[in-house]
Amino acid sequence: DAGVIQSPRHEVTEMGQEVTLRCKPISGHDYLFWYRQTMMRGLELLIYFNNNVPIDDSGMPEDRFSAKMPNASFSTLKIQPSEPRDSAVYFCASSPRWSGYYNEQFFGPGTRLTVL
């Protein structure tokens, strides 16, 4: 298995532009998570899906952020319009069906976003 795949790996854009980050989870995993990592705030959970349905989006910072999961093998995180404070590394992670005891998450390599 190729693991969790994210694209692009690096994105540099100007303030006000739309940014779309993409994620392909591990096949067969039921859960998909989007995180943001910065030096100041650490690793923050933005939103997660279970079987393509958003379960908790309380971490999404504001209406400029939106996430979709149209099918089990693809998810997007969109920022529109982007701002310099959105600069961060965005990680996607997936997890198998939750057993109640074991829910290891598998992380992608991340997308480093720089908003100028």
Of 15-23, 45-53, 63-71, 74-82, the segment contacting other proteins by CB under 8 A is: 45-53
Q: For residue 48, state whether it binds other proteins (rule: CB under 8 A).
A: yes
What gap in Å lies between CA 52 and CA 116, rounded to an integer?
Answer: 32
Q: Which residue has the tokens 């100041």?
A: 40
Give the contacts of 79 (CB within 8 A, at least 6 positions apart): 18, 19, 64, 65, 86, 113
What is the three-class DSSP state of 88? strand
| Sole binder of other proteins in the list 1, 42, 62, 63 (CB under 8 A) | 42
- The answer to the question of residue 34 lying near other proteins (CB under 8 A) is no
DSSP-derived pairing of the beta strands 10-13 and 111-115: parallel
| 25 scored as a contact of other proteins (CB under 8 A) | no
Please choose, out of 14-22, 66-74, 78-86, 105-113, the segment that lies near other proteins by the rule CB under 8 A.
Answer: 105-113
Tell me if 31 contacts other proteins by CB under 8 A: yes
- What region does 64 belong to: left with phi over 0, alpha with psi -120 to 50, or beta? alpha
Name the one range near other proteins by CB under 8 A: 17-25, 60-68, 69-77, 104-112.
104-112
Return residues touching other proteins (CB under 8 A). Answer: 4, 31, 33, 42-43, 45, 48, 50, 55-56, 91, 93, 95, 98, 100-110
